[in-house]
Amino acid sequence: MRIKRLQIENFRAIKNFDEEIGPYTAFIGYNGSGKSSILHAVKWFFEDFPLTTTDIFCQDDRENSLEPLSKVKVTVTFDNITDRDRENFGPYARGEEMVLTRINGADEVSKLYGDQMVYQPFQKIRDANGVNNKRQLIQKLMEADPAVADLDIPEKAPAKEIEAALEAWENDPINRGHLEPIRNEDANHFFGAVGSDKLKIHSGFVFIPAAPDLTGQFDVSGKGSALQLLLGDILKGAVTDSINEWTEKNQKVLNELELTVKQAAQHSLTDRATRVNHHLKNYLPNVQIDFEVGLQDWTPKASPSAQSKLRDGERDFVIERQGHGVQRAALLALLQATADIRTELKQDTIDNANPESTKIDPPSDPLIVFIEEPEVYQHPVQARMMARSFVKAARGSNIQFVLATHSPYFLDPTQIDHTFRVESAPNGSTVYRAKFCDALSPKQKMGELDKYFLETVTECLFSRAALVVEGDTERAIFDSMPCDANGTTLRDLGVAVAVAGGSKTLLDMAQLVHSFGVPVIVVRDGDSDCGIALESAKKRVEHQIRKEFGCAPDFKVEEHFELARQRCDQKLNSWKSDVMEFIKKASEIGFGGGLDEFEWGGGLQQGDCIVVLPHDLESELEKWPSFMNSADNFGLHKNTLRDNKKAGILARIASQSRSEDMPESLRKIMEKVSNLATH
């Protein structure tokens, strides 16, 4: 099972949040935006920690408000329900989804309840008083209702037998189509006092906070601790079979059990410790972790537990007594190794290439892992490696990851539709997610969106604003040129310059970035310079002239010039058509404000979100004295500037240019983008 949908009301910075999430989901935003509120709301749903008034969203001044505080309510919809889940959660997991809700106010006892999937005609039987009434009702129903005509319930069956028969019928997958949910207001408390622990353990929920003490997550006795949940993967596969075999043969010799378990598990645990240490050395050099297996609270149905300790040189020490930096490093290394192991086991099962493989079967239990700021205390290389492990595991095994992060390394471009950008607001944080335009939706569904395109979009999500341009040349220049006399650049202002990869996809990228709540400006070439069009046309007809006239091109000859003029007219018509189509599309998607009087060839034209250059960026750079002086030092001149595609050189030239003599067209663009980022 995994989480399909989250609905959160009135928790900390969140007034209302209702969205579907995926196998790998990331929440991003500035500090205080509310992204951690979403993760902690789910933590409260699973763990039921006490709420105070500060945990409840309040738009007004809390101290002076006369309005009563609202209730906190978190509803989680699970899907990918397995037979194990149906066994664990009974009537709540009979359908394709399981819907559970926790509700509470400040300083109150919370209630966890869910939609039970039942056959509605059975409810009258269950509500009947006395076994005789139950017998009569079930016999009548069996006679009248073809769906239950095959129920085998004797006329004198006791109440428990009747209820068992009804539950067995409802649990049968064949009858799933007959079941309906009991509405929330009529539902009972989810498994009573043990509901919260049962939910957390059987869902495999793990929460790793950003900084506080993680001692509880290494508690051997805590059934819901991260250590027990993550090592459960190792222990179950490594020791369960040997425990069962030994128990069958040696029911009376329990004192030998622990030795047998250690012998059976030692190799597997040593191998897993090696994997964990492979990652741990990147965080804590010269420190190793060991796992020692034992049995806690032995019953005939053994529950293996693990004690962890770290070794630094010749000295051993327990993790629980270390600082949170060490604890977090150990826990993340363990989580990363678990992700790697599950992915390998899943692939091994799919390939099934070696029937004699000694690898254990993939674990059937789920893991739902919520992590705050996984990049904390990590070198960028470590962060990138960990992110890849998480993404790979989420794609190939039954681990779900939900992160709150400030790092682009932990955004998966292929899961951009499950990336959320959170902004603070007085009436509750606003949460944005991707909205794919008509041109991008089919490609996104088929996984055909260009990886570079999506990576460019993810970079914009961490910015105050985005300037979307056609190619690398524009990016290099706008990213490096000064905005003012102090040399401030767009990057200094928190503006991302995004490359759309051509004029055809400018609006697609802008629309996608803007759907995340990022302010956007689009700069497009106006493509209207007749002189440039004519020079291009002359080059294109040279071969035709040689072929038709048998001589070198001479555009003083009327016939030669006429061919070039015709090609020039075609070029200009094509340019005009493309630009006007761009303006039309911009208006259709809401980006055309301020361009109602747009005229092709009318010079620099600015709308609310769109800037159209007179011709292209190179034409404007040629009017910038300090830029051309710097270009001279690199061997670039007016006639060669447009042909140069070395973005690095152009960036250096732009950075050495002065804002004081910048042409008016470029000055207006820089002012427009700067204002967008600072307001």
Does residue 526 carry a pLDDT above 50? yes
pLDDT digits (tens, 9 = 90+) for 123-136: 999 999 999 999 99
Indicate whether 344 belongs to any domain.
Answer: yes
Indicate whether 427 belongs to any domain.
Answer: no
* Predicted pLDDT at 79: 95
Q: Give the DSSP per-residue string, 608-638.
A: SSEEE-SS-HHHHHTT-HHHHHHHHHTT--T
Indicate whether 395 belongs to any domain.
Answer: no
Domain count, the chain: 3
Which of 41-55, 317-331, 527-541 is predicted with the least confidence, judged by mean pLDDT? 317-331
Say if residues 362 and 397 touch (Cβ distance below 8 Å): yes
Q: What is the dihedral of CA 532, 536, 537, 542, to 10 degrees?
A: 140
Query: What span, in angstroms and rounded, lies between the C-alpha atoms of 526 and 523?
Result: 9
pLDDT digits (tens, 9 = 90+) for 87-110: 889 889 998 999 999 998 777 888
Q: Indicate the residue among 343, 364, 385 that finishes a domain.
A: 364
Which of 48-52, 451-455, 472-476, 487-491 is predicted with the least confidence, judged by mean pLDDT? 451-455
Shared domain for 553 and 653, answered yes or no, is: yes
DSSP conformational letter for 320: G
Shared domain for 254 and 150, answered yes or no, is: no
Shared domain for 108 and 180, answered yes or no, is: yes
How far lies 296's CA from each of 218, 257, 301, 305, 535, in Å?
Answer: 15, 12, 11, 6, 84
Indicate whether 33 belongs to any domain.
Answer: no
* Predicted pLDDT at 439: 67
Q: Indicate the residue among 166, 195, 224 that finishes a domain.
A: 195
Say if residues 210 and 332 touch (Cβ distance below 8 Å): no
* Predicted pLDDT at 495: 97
Say if residues 495 and 678 touch (Cβ distance below 8 Å): no
pLDDT digits (tens, 9 = 90+) for 587-596: 999 999 999 9
Strands (E) in 62-220, as ranges, are 72-79, 98-104, 111-114, 117-118, 180-181, 205-208
Find the mean pLDDT for residues 37-57.
Answer: 94
Query: What span, in angstroms and rounded, lies between the C-alpha atoms of 539 and 332?
Result: 61
Parent domain of 623: 503-678
Indicate whether 62 belongs to any domain.
Answer: yes
Indicate whether 636 belongs to any domain.
Answer: yes
Shared domain for 245 and 349, answered yes or no, is: yes
Say if residues 509 and 457 touch (Cβ distance below 8 Å): yes
Work out the burial of residue 306: count CB atoms within 10 Å of its CB; fewer than 13 is exposed, 13-18 middle, 19 or more buried. buried
Does residue 443 carry a pLDDT above 50? yes
* Predicted pLDDT at 186: 52
* Predicted pLDDT at 211: 59
* Predicted pLDDT at 396: 76
Shared domain for 518 and 579, answered yes or no, is: yes
In this predicted model, which residue has the larger pLDDT, 250 or 473? 473
Query: What span, in angstroms and rounded, lies between the C-alpha atoms of 533 and 518?
Result: 36
In this predicted model, which residue has the larger pLDDT, 548 or 344? 548
Does residue 29 carry a pLDDT above 50? yes
- Whether the model clears a pTM of 0.85, i.e. scores above it, the answer is no
Shared domain for 111 and 140, answered yes or no, is: yes
In this predicted model, which residue has the larger pLDDT, 18 or 248? 18
Does residue 464 carry a pLDDT above 80? yes
Shared domain for 72 and 186, answered yes or no, is: yes
Shared domain for 215 and 110, answered yes or no, is: no
Which of 271-285, 569-583, 646-660 is predicted with the least confidence, judged by mean pLDDT? 271-285
Indicate whether 30 belongs to any domain.
Answer: no
Average pLDDT, the chain: 85
For the beta carbon of residue 136, count every other beta carbon within 10 angstroms. 14
Q: Indicate the residue among 312, 337, 364 that finishes a domain.
A: 364
In this predicted model, which residue has the larger pLDDT, 297 or 637? 637
In this predicted model, which residue has the larger pLDDT, 429 or 358? 429
Q: How confident is the model at residue 233 (pLDDT cuts 50, 70, 90)?
A: low
Which of 16-30, 259-273, 413-427 is predicted with the least confidence, judged by mean pLDDT? 259-273
Shared domain for 237 and 100, answered yes or no, is: no
Percent of the chain with pLDDT over 90: 55
In this predicted model, which residue has the larger pLDDT, 670 or 640? 670
- CA atoms 457, 460, 466, 471: torsion sign: negative
Say if residues 460 and 612 touch (Cβ distance below 8 Å): no
Shared domain for 219 and 340, answered yes or no, is: yes
Shared domain for 174 and 293, answered yes or no, is: no
Query: What span, in angstroms and rounded, lies between the C-alpha atoms of 100 and 440?
Result: 35
Indicate whether 16 belongs to any domain.
Answer: yes
Q: How confident is the model at residue 299 (pLDDT cuts 50, 70, 90)?
A: very low
pLDDT digits (tens, 9 = 90+) for 380-401: 888 898 899 899 889 877 889 9
* Predicted pLDDT at 140: 94
Shared domain for 235 and 188, answered yes or no, is: no
Q: How confident is the model at residue 361 (pLDDT cuts 50, 70, 90)?
A: very low
In this predicted model, which residue has the larger pLDDT, 417 or 645? 417
Residues near 402 by beta carbon (within 8 Å), at least 6 away in sequence: 3, 21, 25, 26, 27, 39, 42, 368, 369, 370, 371
How large is the C-alpha radius of gyration of the chain? Answer: 33
pLDDT digits (tens, 9 = 90+) for 175-198: 999 999 886 555 557 776 557 788
Q: How confident is the model at residue 365 (pLDDT cuts 50, 70, 90)?
A: confident
Please name which of 675, 529, 541, 558 lies closest in space to residue 609, comparing C-alpha atoms: 675
pLDDT digits (tens, 9 = 90+) for 309-325: 777 777 777 776 676 66
Let me know the angle formed at the C-alpha of 296 by 290 and 301, rounded to the nearest 5 degrees.
120
Say if residues 95 and 176 touch (Cβ distance below 8 Å): yes
In this predicted model, which residue has the larger pLDDT, 527 or 315? 527
* Predicted pLDDT at 645: 76
In this predicted model, which residue has the larger pLDDT, 144 or 439? 144
Q: How confident is the model at residue 492 (pLDDT cuts 50, 70, 90)?
A: very high
